[in-house]
Amino acid sequence: MENLSSPPPRSQSRAVETPRPRKASPRPPLPLPRKGRGAVGNPSGRFEPETREIFDDGWDLEESDPPRLETTLSVDRARTVITRNQSPDLGFDRSINPYRGCEHGCVYCFARPTHAYLGLSPGLDFESRIFVKPEAPALLTKELRRRGYQCRPIAMGTNTDPYQPAERKTKVTRGILKVLQEFRHPVSIVTKSATVTRDIDILAEMAADGLAKVAVSVTTLDRDLARKLEPRASTPARRLGAIRALSEAGIPVVAMASPIIPVLTDPEMEAILEATRDAGAGAARYILLRLPLEVKELFTDWLDTHAPLKKDHVLNLVRETRDGRLNDPDFFSRQVGSGPYAELIKRRFYVATRKLGLNRELPQLDTQKFKLPPSAGEQLKLL
């Protein structure tokens, strides 16, 4: 029997096969971006029992633009409309969101993961499957009339934009403002939409009594970049026009340079602040980009599609501001980050706002004017 363990005679030659290095598994190809949409994919939410990914089946079909993704509106049967929080780094303890999901499609939006609670994707579902709360004005009236209600400013636009495209049709936000005006209840609004100017008639009257102020977010002055980052939000020029119109109507306006995105938008910060000051903003704030939960993947895919050469630089700087991570959920630091780069942004913002006169606080909203209006059918008091 041949001894397989013995070495071959010297006269014989043996071919030695050099092991080839293993090739890394290629990343699944990204879908083609859809016109008018921010996310380039629709990954499963974190609560789903299974995940799906695109793979190359070898057919090599000719690439073509994917079909247009239409927006669908569904009714959200909410039982209450005021959401309360105890976050110590927020300037409000209650808010109203007339919509779930946001058609603006801002790819970096920290609210995207909330769609996972609905069994939907934080990707394309978040910006195309919108839930509307048509009963919000009636629910708000009921909540404000509750015995023991204590008036504090209500914030709108803290999760999704109250002036996203659906508002032009549903007018839920306008209905909410009418209720707040009737109750003389203070409100603050954050938006990326010039549609806010539609409600100047209500907001100007409320602002005259110290009951309203608006923050307009301007991420970039570059229209092409804005169309990719936040495809269905108002253009930068229209947002500046909204600041001007609101300010001229006597409504206090805060400019939000938000979010500051390393490499992509941070070089514009001073120019954004100057443009908003010239348009009439009275104060300014900023928020540094963070990428919670599914937003990490969505933003990374967006960089692969729209800015592949800048991807590593952007993500490395985000990690530098988030203690090596892409997100920092801790109170206070989550808004402005930490580390040398974050400190540089903070210093630049301080210097620019001081120079431009934007380094101040707007007057506090007045909570003392709140009063219950007569109910339907209630007889007015003579005295």
Cα–Cα dist 279/277, whole Å: 5
Cα–Cα dist 75/89, whole Å: 32
60 within a domain of the structure (yes/no): no
Q: Which domain holds residue 285?
A: 72-356
What pLDDT does 5 receive?
42
CATH number at residue 164: 3.20.20.70
Q: Which of 297, 257, 251, 300 is nearest to 276 (CA)?
A: 257
Share of the chain above pLDDT 70, in %: 86
The model's pTM is 0.86
Cα–Cα dist 280/246, whole Å: 8
Residues 298-327 pLDDT 10s: 999 999 999 999 999 999 999 999 999 999
Dihedral of the alpha carbons of 255, 257, 258, 260, in degrees to the nearest 10? -170
324 within a domain of the structure (yes/no): yes
Read off the tokens for 185: 């209840």
Cα–Cα dist 102/99, whole Å: 7
- Burial of 282-320, coded b for 16+ CB within 10 Å and e otherwise, reads bbbbbbbbbbbbbbbbbbebbbebbeeeebeebbebbbb
43 within a domain of the structure (yes/no): no
Peptide bond into 153 cis (omega under 30): no
Phi/psi for 135 (5° steps) reads -90, 5
53 within a domain of the structure (yes/no): no
3-state secondary structure of 260: strand
Cα–Cα dist 121/127, whole Å: 10
3-state secondary structure of 220: coil
Amino acid letter for position 326: L
Cα–Cα dist 81/79, whole Å: 7
User: Please, which pLDDT band fits residue 191 given cuts at 50, 70 and 90?
Assistant: very high
How many domains is the chain built from?
1
Residues 207-259 pLDDT 10s: 999 999 999 999 999 999 999 999 999 999 999 999 999 999 999 999 999 99
3-state secondary structure of 367: coil
Residues 19-73 pLDDT 10s: 455 444 455 566 678 888 989 988 888 887 766 665 555 555 555 667 789 999 9
The answer to whether 213 and 252 have CB atoms below 8 angstroms apart is yes
What pLDDT does 296 receive?
95
Would you say how long the chain is, in residues?
Answer: 383
Supply the mean pLDDT for the chain: 89
81 within a domain of the structure (yes/no): yes
Amino acid letter for position 176: I
The answer to whether 70 and 127 have CB atoms below 8 angstroms apart is no
The residues that bridge with 95 in the sheet, in sequence order, are: 83, 155
